[in-house]
Amino acid sequence: MVTVVFQRMWKGMLMPQSGMQRFLASTICREKITQKMICEKCIIFSVCGSDPYHFDTKLIPLIMGHFPAGTSSNLAAHFAQFILKESFGQYDYGRALNLRHYNSTEPPTYNLKSIRVPITLIYGENDILADTTYNIII
């Protein structure tokens, strides 16, 4: 249902660039007094995680000029499926479309044992999307 809303409202995009974003980047986020209060704390840190001691405030206008860059709503839905199902599988289109795509009502899970290249996962201590409690060893 969320994907349908994104398709209708933003043509399948999540957080697409907008006139408001360009206005923030060119005005409010260029002023020293509003950079820290509004752009850093309210916008950047609320989405990316907070790291006030290592954040270079001179980058705020540059970041805000590209942030958010937008992504496919299907990518966000797929990420949510990982979390809700607590499994790492292919995109779930729903029972009927899964049958067409995968010849199964459920999407297949990825076989992580078939990966034969080294993988390194890098995250920041304040990354609000990273869950560091899982130790995955294959």
pLDDT of residue 52: 74
Single pTM value for the model: 0.59
- How far, in Å, CA of 21 to CA of 13, rounded? 15
- Tokens 């705020």 belong to which residue? 60
What single string gives the DSSP state of each residue in 24-92? HHHTGGGSHHHIIIIIIIIIIHHHH---TTT--GGGHHHHHHHSS--EEHHHHHHHHHHHHHTS-BS--
pLDDT of residue 11: 67
Which two tokens mark 125?
């201590």
pLDDT of residue 18: 72
- How far, in Å, CA of 106 to CA of 91, rounded? 10
Residues counted in the chain: 138
**pLDDT tens per residue across all 138 residues of the chain:** 655 555 555 566 766 667 777 777 777 777 777 777 777 777 777 767 677 777 777 777 777 777 767 777 788 788 888 888 888 899 999 999 999 999 999 999 999 889 899 888 777 777 766 766 765 555
